[in-house]
Amino acid sequence: MAAPTLIYCAGGNRRLYEIATAAGFLYGSQLPETIYGPLYFADQDWRKPNRAAYMTALARHRPHMATVLDWEQEEQLPEMLDWAEEAAQYVERVLIIPKVIGGIGKIPRRINGRDIVLAYSVLTRYGGTQLPIWEFAGWPIHLLGGSPQAQMETWHYLRCMTEVASTDGNYMQKMALRYCQYWMPGTAQYAINRWWPTLHEANQGRWEGDAPYEAFRRSCENIIEAWKNIEN
């Protein structure tokens, strides 16, 4: 099975956008937000959903795919599907985030002429999808968030039962901007964290104010390369 489409998801920083897309990531962002190029993936603030503002932004940017209201409670199904029908006017694929155990069978495969993709939240210390993984069998899947290694591990589990079409995240941005750490495929034996060495541990020069951007660049390039070789 082919590796998924990789999406860097963040707005508000042109330089990070340029680094990520130069490395090979497509661009995603939570809307409404300041963005800097063609948008492939759009998300909305699930904690404070603002349907009117979100749909206006979708109409403006016309991303390839977009999430809709998280389906957290059984009784939200009609509202969530109504969001999906409206969003389908502006995108090629509608991304639904199911959180109701046993509910996936109630989701249509297409809505308003557009394909439905299910989102699977990758496990982190803050949470993740609580639904049994087998409920997603046979659906095209998008991996939401998580570290690169956690996304790859989830891909290995899911690939036996379905297509993992795409992933998004900005974990590497947080690690670069906060700690000047960059992602390695578990091979940085010289570092305290073999997945996330610091530039200091790598002992490869000084970048002063550019250090976070150098760490981010390395992460982007290493993640792209790891996904290219994931079958090997």
The domain locations on the chain are: 5-169
Q: How many CB atoms lie within 10 A of CB 104?
A: 18
Q: Do 223 and 183 contact (CB within 8 A), yes or no?
A: yes
The encoded tokens of residue 141 equal 């899947």
CATH topology for 5-169 is: TIM Barrel (3.20.20)
Q: How far is CA 70 from CA 21, 98, 112, 169, in A?
A: 28, 7, 19, 17
| CA 195 to chain CA centroid, nearest Å | 19
Q: Do 146 and 154 contact (CB within 8 A), yes or no?
A: yes
Q: Do 83 and 69 contact (CB within 8 A), yes or no?
A: yes
User: Rounded CA gap, 49 and 141, in Å?
Assistant: 22
Q: Which residue, 4, 41, 48, is CA-closest to 158? A: 4
What does the pLDDT profile of the chain (232 residues) look like in tens digits?
678 999 999 988 999 999 999 999 999 999 988 899 999 999 998 889 999 999 999 999 999 999 999 999 999 999 999 999 999 999 999 999 999 999 999 999 999 999 999 999 897 654 567 888 889 999 999 999 999 999 999 999 898 899 999 999 999 999 999 999 999 999 999 899 999 999 888 765 566 668 999 999 999 999 999 999 986 5
Its pTM stands at 0.92
Prior bond of 32 cis (ω within 30°): yes
- Residue 116's DSSP bridge partners are 94
